[in-house]
Amino acid sequence: MKKRKPNDLVLQTVTKVVSFLIILFSIRMFFAGHYEPGGGFIGALMTSAALVLLLLAYDAKTLSTILPIDYKIITAIGLVFAIGTGVGGVLFDVPFLTHAYDKFYLPLLGEQTLHSALIFDLGVYLGVIGVTLTIIKTIGESE
Amino acid sequence: MTGVFMGALIVLTISIMMLVIRVVKGPTTPDRVVALDAIGVLLIAIIAVLSMLLSTYAFLDVIILLAILAFIGTVAFAKFIERGVIIQHDRNK
């Protein structure tokens, strides 16, 4: 008798909707971190939760087809962002990790205040995503 | 109004204690998984009542976060019970 293929139609259809909601929530958490609860760490954990849901509903091969990324490189890029904001302060003759902000006029968004701590937070975000998914994929794929 | 919130909290706490009994003595693993999922939902309700009691918006992110985590945890447990592995390398093999 032929071995039946697993049929996860409900789980896969729910995942297609819910993973986008989780990623939107994580982006909102990331940008809310300056004035409200949230920040780079929890935003990155939510993004990795969406990717873990994709890993659960599909498989590791499908996720590496959707996102052909080496997560160790993502961690390295995050650390470069975090160190880069620190060194950027030194270039302007102020101590290491001194941050600055200014008002900018963005198209569509109007006048917004941009702070260089956001780039540091982006480094934390990329680092946490890289570490979490490296751990999960390394443990999950060992035969 | 505080009395209503405290009453709701007491009812939710009693429900969680009954579910903990099901987690402890549930005869099979699916019983325990369903009880843990229901505990997650009741924790969401408790956080909602607490944020009304403390009159703050700061916990509303925690509610959606707990809902997402309870869903993913339950899916992972269900896949472990059904297949024995949680993350497959190639599901069509």
Contact status, residue A51 vs residue A65, Cβ threshold 8 Å: no
Name the residue in chain B with its Cα closest to that of A29. B61
User: What pLDDT sits at residue B34?
Assistant: 94
**Residue whose C-alpha is closest to residue A54's, from A80, A30, A28, A22:** A22
Contacts of A142 (CB under 8 A, 6+ apart): none
Task: Check CB contact of B88 with chain A, cutoff 8 Å.
Answer: yes
Say which of A42, A49, A143 has its CB closest to residue B72.
A49
Is there a domain that residue B26 lies in? yes
How does pLDDT run across B5-37, given as a tens digit for each residue? 999 999 999 999 999 999 999 899 999 999 999
Question: Is the residue at B90 inside a domain?
Answer: no
Decide if B21 is inside a domain.
yes
Let me know if residue B88 belongs to a domain. Answer: no
Task: Return the higher-pLDDT residue of A125 and A60.
Answer: A125
Nearest residue in chain A measured CA to CA from B62: A37
When pLDDT is cut at 50, 70 and 90, the band that residue B69 belongs to is very high
A38 neighbors A119 (Cβ within 8 angstroms):
no
pTM confidence score: 0.88
Q: CB A141 to CB B89 under 8 A?
A: yes
Whether B92 is in a domain gets the answer no
- CA of A60 vs chain B CAs: smallest distance (Å): 5
A5 vs B62 pLDDT, higher one: B62
| Token couple for B91 | 């599901």
Q: How many residues does chain B have?
A: 93
Q: Whole domain around residue B57: which residue ranges? A: 1-83
Is B67 a domain residue? yes
Domain count, chain B: 1
Answer whether A56 sits within 8 Å of B75, measured CB to CB: yes
Instruction: Could you list the beta-strand ranges (E) of A54-131.
Output: 101-106, 110-115
Are residues A22 and A53 in contact, defined by beta-carbon separation less than 8 angstroms?
Answer: yes
**Token couple for B30:** 């699916």
